[in-house]
Structures are given as structure tokens and as C-alpha cells.
Structure 1
Amino acid sequence: MLTREGCPTNALAIKDALEALEGKWKLLILFALSSGPKRFKELSKAVGSITDKTLSAELKRLEMNKLIKRDVHDTFPPTVEYSITPHGMSLENVMDALHFWGLAHRKKIMKD
């Protein structure tokens, strides 16, 4: 369990995590890739209303943070597949927790 002791160090770790996952798309991309590798257009459809430019930028950031990998297959034309890395899969519990919290939150705000 996270304690408040040594707060500057803990705050720095949380800051690093938030910077790696900042924005509304990164967790959705990781969630889409958690079911298996996808090509760019498959990923675009799975994520939803993201523009190609934004998806491309987010994929580059996720790759830079070693959360996904980009595989270029030697075909004509070349095909590119994106997949989640073991480091990215380490966020599975975080994504599950956010999923269940989101369901409960939606239920609560729809009820009130």
C-alpha cells in the first residue's frame, strides 16, 4: 500500500506514471492492444474517434515508453503491427480497476 511517508519520492513516481499515460487515448490504446496485436486501422477502429495524426503521435509516445512495440513485416507493401509489451501488460490491473470504477461511476451518475 502506498504511504504518504517520503511524499516527494512517491509524488515523483506518480508524476512519472501520469506522464507516461497522460491524455485520453493512451490507456484506450493499451486496452485495445491487450487483446492482441493490431494494425493501425484496426487500432483506430478499436479506439474510436481518434484522428490518424493523434493515433500516430500516441503510438510513438507509447513505444518510446516501452509500453508497446512496433513490428514491421517484410511484405509488399510493408505491414506494421502494434502489440503491447510485458511492461505495458503490467498495467493490466490498473486498466481493470479503471474499467470497473468507470462502470460503477457511470451507474452512479445515471442513477442520481
Structure 2
Amino acid sequence: MSLKDLLPPGTYDEIKQEAHDNASSAPQSPKGQGPLLVSCPYCHKQIVYSTDNPFRPFCSERCKMLDLGAWANEERTVAGNDINVDEDADLLNDPNLPVRNLPSHE
């Protein structure tokens, strides 16, 4: 399934056309005054967010790789459930669970 399948009919084509129309210029700041400036997620240096920067939203390959390393070393994480918790374990004792007699391999 692709993004196109998830959007209402015609929306994908509209977004695609708008992206091609705006591809020749850098995004404008919210006030419409010059190019869009963003902070590098790693070093917080202000940079122009543009397709000319292959490392966007980072300012450089160095910051991109340092950030990736921080994720790989688990210095950065996304909050979530413990992966060792078996959420389906309680279902095994459910009296409404259908019982299936599978053939044994003897």
C-alpha cells in the first residue's frame, strides 16, 4: 500500500503538482521573507532548508552521521512499551478462545 492509496482521490496528484511547481525555489519562511531557515537537529546551527543540501535537515554529513550514531548507541530513544512484554499472553487463558486440534507430528 502506498501513500497514494491512503489519501482521498485527487489529493496525491494535487500535492505532486504543487511540489513540482515549487521545486525551483527554496521554501519560504512563514512570514514570506526569504528562504526557510531551520536549526540543525544535532548542532543547532541555522541553515537554509533547501533541496540543494543533500543532508537536510542536518547542516552536514558529519552532523547526520553523529545523530545516526547516537540512535545506534541508544543515546536517543522513542518512548514506547517494553519489547519484552507479551501483550497476547493473557489471550491464551481466555475461555472464549477457539480451540484448534492440530495434527501432531510424531
TM-score (norm 1): 0.25
Q: Which has the higher contact order (CA 8 A, sep 6+)?
A: 1
Structure with greater Cα Rg: 2
Please state which structure has a larger fraction of its residues in helix.
1
TM-score (norm 2): 0.26
Please state which structure has a larger fraction of its residues in strand.
1
